[in-house]
Structure 1
Amino acid sequence: MKNIYLLLFLISYTAMSQEITPKSAFLEKWKNSEAYLLEMAEVMPEEKYTFAPTEREMDFKNQLLHICGNMLWLSTTYFSEEEFDRKKLADNAPDSKSEIIKFLKKSFDEVYKRVTETSEESLITKVDFFAGPKSKLQILNLLQDHVTHHRGQLIVYLNLNEIKPPKYVGW
C-alpha cells in the first residue's frame, strides 16, 4: 500500500513540476526570441549595420540598440530594485557588430535572470506605467511584443538588402 501512495505522489509531483505557468511560458519564448534575433544580427554584414530604408527610420544597428535599451529599461524598472540609467546606457553603447551581438546576448540574459528571480505570484502586481497602471505580466508581454515589433522591421531590412532572413523561430 505504501508503494501505491509513493507512486501516486511521484506521478502528481511530476505533473505539477511540468505545469506551464505565465512565467515559464515567457522564459521559453524569450530564449527562442533571443536565438532568432541573434541569427538576424549575425546574418547582416557589418557594413550594412548603417542601412536604413528611409531617413525617418533607425538604421539596423540602432534598431538593435533600441531593442536592448527597451529590454534593460523594462526589466530593471519593473523586475529589479536597481535604478535604470538611460544616459549611462547611451554613453556606453557598443559600435561594432561583434560588440552589439555581445550586448544583445547580455541584455537578453539580464531580462531572463530578472524574470527568473520574480515570483509567479508577483506577476499580478500592478505597477505605474506611462500608459497607466499595468500588471507585471503585462510588462512581460510588452517586453516580448517590443522585440517582435522591431525584429519584424529588421526582417524587412534584410530583405531589402537581398539577404535571406533566418528561418522563423516561434515558441
Structure 2
Amino acid sequence: MYRQIDDFLQEWSNASKGTLQVLQALTDDKLNQNIVEGHSTLGWLGWHLVGAAGYFSYLAGLKVPMIRQEDPVPTTAADIVTAYENIANGIKEEVAKLSNEDLLEVVNGFTAPMPKGALLRVLIDHQTHHRGQMTVLLRQAGLPVPGVMGPTKEMQ
C-alpha cells in the first residue's frame, strides 16, 4: 500500500515504462498470438492493460481517459501503444494532484473497500502480472522480448 504520493509516482514511472516497452514490441501481424486456441491474445492482453488501468483509476477517483468495455481490440499495435501512453500519463498527472492523506481514503475497490493507496498497489501488481504473460507470448511469436526487469536472452 502506498502512503506517499512520491513513492507511487516513482514506481508508476518505472512500471509504466516497462509496460510501454512490452507494448512497443507488438506488431500488427502478431496481435492474435495466443498460447493455445481460445486463450488471451497479445492484442487482447495489451488492450486489457489499457482498460484495467482506466478501471482501477476510476475506482480510485482519478479522472483519466478510459476505453469502454465494449470497445473492440484495435487492429494495430500503434493504437494500443497510444491508448496506453494516454492513460499512463493521465494516471501520473492525476495522482500528482493527490495528497498523502488522500491515499488513506477508503474507496470501493475491485473486490472490497480498500484505501486508495492499496488500490494503486493492485493497479501496478495487476499490470505486472499481465505484462509477464505478454513476454511469454512475445517469445512464442518470435518477437524480441524487452529487458523490463533485466537482460533477456536477446541481450546476452
| Fold match by TM threshold 0.5 | yes
Overall identity of the aligned pairs, in %: 24
Distance in 2 of aligned mates of 1:92 and 1:163: 24
1:90-169 matched pairs, under 5 angstroms: 90-91=70-71, 94-169=74-149
Matched position secondary structure for 1:90: coil
Matched position secondary structure for 1:127: strand
- In 1, are the aligned partners of 2:44 and 2:73 still within 8 Å (CA)? no
Amino acid of the residue matched to residue 20 of structure 2? L
Kindly indicate which of the two structures has a greater share of residues assigned to helix: 1
Cα distance per residue 1:126-162 (max 9 Å; x no partner):
1123422211011010110010000000011012123
Aligned length: 148
Pick from 53, 56, 74 the counterpart of residue 74 of structure 1: 56
Gaps of 5+ in 1: 1-20
Pick from 46, 68, 73 the counterpart of residue 28 of structure 2: 46
Matched position secondary structure for 1:91: coil
- In 2, are the aligned partners of 1:79 and 1:115 still within 8 Å (CA)? no
- In 2, are the aligned partners of 1:63 and 1:150 still within 8 Å (CA)? yes
Distance in 2 of aligned mates of 1:26 and 1:85: 20
Deviation at residue 38 of structure 1 after TM alignment: 1.6
Deviation at residue 71 of structure 1 after TM alignment: 0.6
RMSD of Structure 2 on Structure 1 (CA): 2.4
Deviation at residue 168 of structure 1 after TM alignment: 2.2
Matched position secondary structure for 2:145: coil
Distance in 2 of aligned mates of 1:95 and 1:154: 17
